[in-house]
Chains A and B, each alone.
Chain A
Amino acid sequence: MKKHLGRALTVLLGIALGAAVFTSVRLSIHAALDSFTRSMDVIAGSADRVMVQPGGRVPEEWVAKLMQFSVVRDVSPVLTAYVRLADKKSEPFLLIGLDPIMDRSFRKWQFSERTEEDVESWIELLKRPYTLIIGKSLAEKYAVYRGDHLFIEHTRQTAFFSIAGILSPGGLAMAEGGMIALTDIATFQELTKLYGLVDRIDIKLDPNTTSEDLDHIRKNLPDNFQLGAPSAAKESGQGLIRAYQLNLSILSFASLFVGMFLVYSLVALNAASRRHELAVLRATGASPHFLFLVFLAEGALFGVMGWLTALPISTILVKYLLKGVSQTISILFAKVQVETLSLSPWEILLSFAITVFTSSVSAVQPAWEAMQVSPNEALEISRHGMTRKTSPRKLVIGGIGCLFLVVPLSLLPGILNMTLPGYFAILFLFVGFSLFAPWSLIQMGHALSPILHRFVGIPAYLAGRYVRDSGTRTAVSVGALITAVALFASLVIMIHSFRSTVELWAHQTVSGDLFVTTKMGEINRFRYPLPRTVVDGLEEFSNQVDIVPSRRYSLTYNNFPYEFQLLDIHVFLRHGDFVWLKGDPDRVRTLLKHGKGVVISEVFSNRTGVAMGDRFRARIESSLVELPVLGIIRDYRTRGGVVFYSLPQFNIRYHDVPWGGCRIFLKDRTKNPEMAVASLKNEFIRRWGDTLEIISGQALRNTILRVFDETFAITIVLLLIALAIAALGIATTLTVLVLERSKQLNTLYAVGADFGQIRSMILWEAAFMVVAGELAGIVCGFVLSYILVYVINRQSFGWTFLYEVDWGALAMSLPLIILTALAAAYPAIKMVFRESPATLLREN
C-alpha cells in the first residue's frame, strides 16, 4: 500500500467526499424533519382529536358544548397566527393564543426561572391583557427580558405587549425552535378581531372512548365542522419531507457510488501487482477464501477510513446544507425552524454502514479475481497479462435483461409516497448500461482500429486495441463515467424542463401587474380577508385596471393538504391562463367561467387520485361544494395541490366570501406599463400601506424563479461533487492502468516507441474510454431524464413538466466533460517512465 500512497490518498479523498456528502445530507434533512415533527408534536400537545371548521373558524361556544359529551375529558381552544415586531420588522414568529388554565393538561410549558416569579408570570398572563410569555430564542434574539415591552404587528392590528415571563426550553417552548409567544386567548381575539372565534379546539377523550362515541359526537356537530386527528398535518408534512429526503439521499449516494469505482481500481491494482505473491501464498496453503477476505477487508478498510475522514468534512458541509435544506423544506413543504443539529445515532450508523458496505462491494470483483489465482502461478512465469474474461456477449444479455426491467419498474406506483420502484428502475438502468460497456468497447475497437491505424497512427491503434481487449478494468471505469455523465445529462435536462415549465406557469398563471394581500398574508395562509375599506377603495381604480379578486383556503382532502382558490376566472382569463395538461382548454375555460366545475392541479390529481370527470367534494366554511373536475392544469405552487373555482359563481351558488386578496391588471399596457404599475403601487401604499402587502407581479415572478434556483442549488452542488469524484476516478483508473502495464510500456519503448508515441497512446486510451462513456452516458441520461420527470418527480412531488432538452447547456458542457476527463489523464501520462525503461531487464 505504501507504494501507492498518492493513489490511496486520492481514493480516500473520493470516498470521504462521497461519505461526507451523504452523511451531511442525511443529517441535515433528518434535523429538519426532527424539528418539524417536534414542533408539530408540541403544538398539537396531547390532544386526541381536534375540532375545526375547514376554511373557517370555530365559535367559542363549542368549548362549553363539547364538555357536555361524557367521553370528552378536557378541551382547550387555540388560536395561532404569525406576527412580527412592528418596530424591528422582524422575521414573523408564531403567536399562540390559549386559555392558560384549560391548556395545562394539553401542553407543557415551563418558565426559565422556577421561582415565585413563575407563579406571578402565570397570574399576570391570566389577569392582565396584552401580556406575553415568550420563547427563550425569541427573547435572546431581540434581547428582551421580563417586564420589557414588545410592539407586535398582526395582519389586522398592531399593539404593545408586555413580557410576563420567558419560557425555558422544553415542551411548547421548543415549537418553531423557540421563536414563539403565548398570550391569553381573549387578548389574541382582541388583537386579531376574532371575537368569539377560535382556530381549533383540542380535545382529550376518555381512554375507553369507542368509535361509536366519536360518531355520536360527530352526529351532533353541524356538517361544516370536523373532528380530525391532530397528527394529520404532521403526517402529510412528514411524508413530503421524507420524499425529499429520499431524493436527496439518492442523489448524494451517487457520489458514493462513483467513489466505488475509485476503490475498485485501487484494490484491483493491488491484487494484480501482488499476483505472484498471492500465488505463493496459495502454494503455501492459504485458502482461496482467505485471499478473498483479505481483499474484501482492504475495501472495507477504505470505507472505514474514508468515513472517518469524512467526519470533519461533514461538519463543514452540514452547516451549509442545513441552511439550504431547511429553507427549501420551509418553502416547499412545511415551515421548519432548525435551531440545533440533532445528531441521530441511527443516521450516523446508517452513513457508516452504507459507506463501508459500498466500498466493500467495490472490492468484491478484484477479491474474486484474487481468489482465482492458482498456486501454479508461483512456479510458472507470469503469463497473466490476459485475465480470462466473462464473455461480453453474456454481459450484454444481462444488460438487456436489466434494461427490460426498467420499464415495468418505472410504471409501478410509489410505495408510501416513496418512489422506490422508480429508484430501482434507475439502478437497473445504470447496471444495464454498464454491462454494455465491455461489448461496446470491443465493437468500437473493432470498428475504429483499422481506421485509426490508417489515418491517426500506431499509438491510436494500440490504444484502441488495448481498450478493446483489456477486459473488466477499462469497462469498469467506462461504467463509472456512464453513471456520472448520465446523471449530469439527465439532471441538466430535468432542471431545464422544470425551470422552463415553471417559467411558463409563472408567466401565465401567476400573471398580474400587482398582487395585493393582507400583511403577512401568505404566512398566515390568507386567512384574514382584505378590509372592506380597501375593497371599496380599489373600486375607484376600475377605470384604469382590471381587478381579479381571490380567496384562498388551506384545506385537506383525505389528509392531503391543498389550496382551494376562488378567483374571478372571467377577468383572469382575459389576461392570464392556466398551463393546461388535460381537457380541451377552450371548452373548459367556458365551463369554468360559468361555474360548471373546477380545474385541479396535476399534483392534486396525482396525490388524491381525483381524475378528470370525477366529482370534487369539499366543505368550505358553511358550504358543501360538489363539482365535476373539468380539467387538469400544471401548477408548481408549493405545499400540495390547488383547486380553482370561480369566485363570483361561488358567491352565487354557495355563500358570500370576502376577498382575501386580489391581483391587478393594467387595462392599457401600451404606454410605459412599468411606470404605471409603480405609481399605482405607490398610491396603494400611501393609502393602505399599513394593512396591505403589495408586490408587483414582476417581483413576485422573479421571487418564484429565485426560489426555484435556490432550491436546485443543492442539487447542483451535489452533482458537481459527484462529477469531481468521477474525475478523480478517471485519473486514478488511468494511472492504475499505466502502473499495471509499466512492463508493457517499457517493452514498447525497448522495441522502438518513443515517449511521444507512448504518451499519445495513453491519451488515446483515455479518449476512447471518455468518448465511449460519454456517448453511452448521454443515451442513458436521456432515458434517466424521462424517469426523473415522469416517474420520480411525479411520484415524489406529484408534478411533471414539459420535457424540454437544454441542447445549449449539453452542447456546452459535454465537451467540457471530455476535456476534464482527458485532463484527468495527465497524472497517468506523467507517471509513464517515472522509472527508467531499463527496469524491464530486472526480472523478478
Chain B
Amino acid sequence: MGDLFTDTIVISVLAATIRIATPLILAALGELIAERAGILNLGVEGTMLMAAFAAFIGAYATGSTLMALLLAVLAGMAMSFIMVFMAATLKVEQVVTGLALNLLAAGMSLYLYKAFFAVEGQAMPTVAVMPVAPIPFLSEIPYIGPILFTQKVLTYVALLMVPVVWFFLYRTKYGLEIRCLGENPKAIDTKGMSVSLRQYGAVMAGGALCGLAGAFVTIGSSARFVPDITNGRGWLALVIVIAANWRPSGILIAALVFAFLDALQLQIQGIGVQMPYQIFLALPYVLAIVLMVLKSRRGRSEEPARLGVPYFRGER
C-alpha cells in the first residue's frame, strides 16, 4: 500500500486528474452558459458524442487537428441549434428535447461510423492522438510542472476558459443580458431586446464548448472511436453545473473533484488493489447525489429562476 503515496504516483494521479477534468470543464462551462440563458440543455451527452465523432472523422480524413477541432465545434453548434430551435422558437418541453438529442446522437454516430468505415476492411480505423504540449520552462517546475504544464493544448484551453467564461458572464453586457434571461426574460423583452436571439447565441456558444469537450474524448485521448465513447461525461457535466451552484469557479472545483476520484480509481486498478473497481467507478455519481442532497439544505441557490421555462410574451 505504501506504493500508493510515492511522489511519482501522486504526480501521475494529479496529472491524470487535470486531464480527465478537461472535457468535464469544457462541457460544464458550455452548459452553464445555456442554463444561465434559461435553457436546460439535457442533450450535453449527445452533443459531446456527435462532436467526438466529428472530431474523429475530421482527424481521419484530413490528418489535421485543427480541422478536427473545427468540425467538432460545428457539430456541437449544430446539435445545440436543434436544442435552441425547439426550446426558444417552438417552445417545446426542454427536458424531452434534450433526451431526444441524446438518443439521436447515439444512433446517428453509430450509423455514420458504420457508413464510413464498413467497407474499409476489418481493422479499426485509428487517428493520431493529440500530443502532450509541455509549456517551456513552466513544465520544469518540480511537482507543478508535470501536473499542470505538461498537458495537451485542449486542457490549457479548458483551464483558460474558466476565467474567460466568468468574465463574459459577469463583466460584459452580453453576459448580463444572458443571466437576465435565466432569471426574468421579460426584463429583456420589455426593453425591446430579442429574447430568442440571445438564447440562440448563448446555447450555441455553449454548444461550441461542448464540441471541444467531445473532441477531447476522441482525438484528445483515444486513437479509436467506439460507440458511446463519451460514456456519461455529458451527464456528469450537468451534475457539475449544479454542484458548482452555477458559478464558473465552482465548475472548476467540482470538475477537479470528480476527475480526481476517477484518476484515483484508475491508479488503484492499475496497481492491482484487491477491490471491486466498480465501487470507484460509482464514486463520482455517489458524490453527485450527496452534493445534491447537501445543496437542498444550503442557503441561497444561484439556480436560474426560469431555467427550463419557455418564454411567452403574452403570458400573465
Q: Does A associate with B in a complex?
A: no
A residues lining the B interface (CB < 8 Å): none
B residues lining the A interface (CB < 8 Å): none
